[in-house]
Amino acid sequence: MRRVAVVRFPGSNCDADTLHSARRAGAEAYFVWHRDTDLQGADAVMLPGGFSYGDYLRSGAIARFSPIMSAVQRFAQAGGPVLGICNGFQILCEAGLLPGALIQNSRLSFVSRPVGLRLEQPDTAFTTAYARGQLLRMPVAHGDGQYVADAATLAELEATGRVVVRYVELDGSTLRTAINGSLHDIAGIANTGGNVVGLMPHPDRAADPTLGSTDGMGFFTSVLTWATAGAGR
């Protein structure tokens, strides 16, 4: 489990950060272009942050039909690990690989700042490096980050432990002021297999000591060892 494909869409702007982070974690990481149709033997796929296709229509709505996304769909459905960060999370929701949707922040403004996160589910392809309940600090930078889903979907996510990270205050206490209005303070979720994970905060901007936090590094190291752990599922 070493080859990590980072997909570049027109408008991606965290593609280099994501590649850098994956390499720092020890992966053999490389870019694939949105018009490609082959993941080139990837062991894991990452959809980076940015504003693919200018966020036209809805964030992620057009990227989801990129040629490369057919390969990503097949890869994910076969159990391959796929991580969507920020715009990547929006694309995964639009593609139906994760439930729910990300709509405009409740207070209408773009939010760009460090947030606290509680790691709720270490048993996914991208979170085995963390302990349940661990407090993480990472930046968010998004205008459309409000996670919404119908009541049945939310109840199922909670009951099956598929909320991966939840917003908390920087000191770890329950969120007092909404970051973006996400239901249940959800910052990231997983699919039923735990192989597809999406989150709005940026582990790729918190995976190098130069940037002030390495709390996000676990997302990149976890997947490198997940294949063997995942085989026992």
Partner 1 sequence: MTYKVHVRVVPRGGLLDPQGKAVEHALSALGFKDASGVRIGRAIELSIEAKSAEEARTRTRAMCDKLLANPVTEDYTVEVEG
Task: Report the candidate in 115, 106, 117, 116 with the shortest Cα–Cα distance to residue 181.
Answer: 106
Give the one residue of 105, 124, 127, 222 binding partner 1; rule: CB under 8 A.
Answer: 105
Give the count of alpha carbons within 13 A of 4, CB side only: 34
For residue 149, the minimal CB distance to partner 1 (Å) is: 7
For residue 181, the minimal CB distance to partner 1 (Å) is: 7
Give the one residue of 26, 54, 133, 150 binding partner 1; rule: CB under 8 A.
Answer: 150
Which segment (75-83, 99-107, 190-198, 224-232) binds partner 1 by CB under 8 A?
99-107
Q: Decide: residue 41, CB within 10 A, 0-12 exposed, 13-18 middle, 19+ buried.
A: exposed
Query: Tokens 């964030």 identify what position?
Result: 59
Q: 16 vs 101, which CB is nearer to partner 1?
A: 101
User: Are the C-beta atoms of 92 and 48 separated by less than 8 Å?
Assistant: no
For residue 56, the minimal CB distance to partner 1 (Å) is: 11
CA angle, 28 then 72 then 203, to 5°:
55
For residue 94, the minimal CB distance to partner 1 (Å) is: 7
Binning the chain into helix, strand and coil, the percentages to the nearest 5 are: 30, 25, 45
Residue 28 interacting with partner 1 (CB under 8 A): no
Q: 98 vs 119, which CB is nearer to partner 1?
A: 98
For residue 54, the minimal CB distance to partner 1 (Å) is: 15
CA angle, 106 then 108 then 111, to 5°:
90
Binding to partner 1 in span 176-215, by CB under 8 A:
181
Cα 72 to its chain centre, rounded Å, is 14
Residue 103 interacting with partner 1 (CB under 8 A): yes
Binding to partner 1 in span 31-60, by CB under 8 A:
57-58
For residue 99, the minimal CB distance to partner 1 (Å) is: 8
User: What three-state secondary structure class fits 31?
Assistant: strand
| Residue 198 bridge partners (DSSP) | 84, 189
For residue 10, the minimal CB distance to partner 1 (Å) is: 17
Give the one residue of 106, 160, 173, 225 binding partner 1; rule: CB under 8 A.
Answer: 106
Give the one residue of 148, 175, 211, 227 binding partner 1; rule: CB under 8 A.
Answer: 148
User: Are the C-beta atoms of 73 and 118 separated by less than 8 Å?
Assistant: no
Residues that bind partner 1 (CB under 8 A): 57-58, 61-62, 65, 93-94, 99-101, 103-108, 148-150, 181
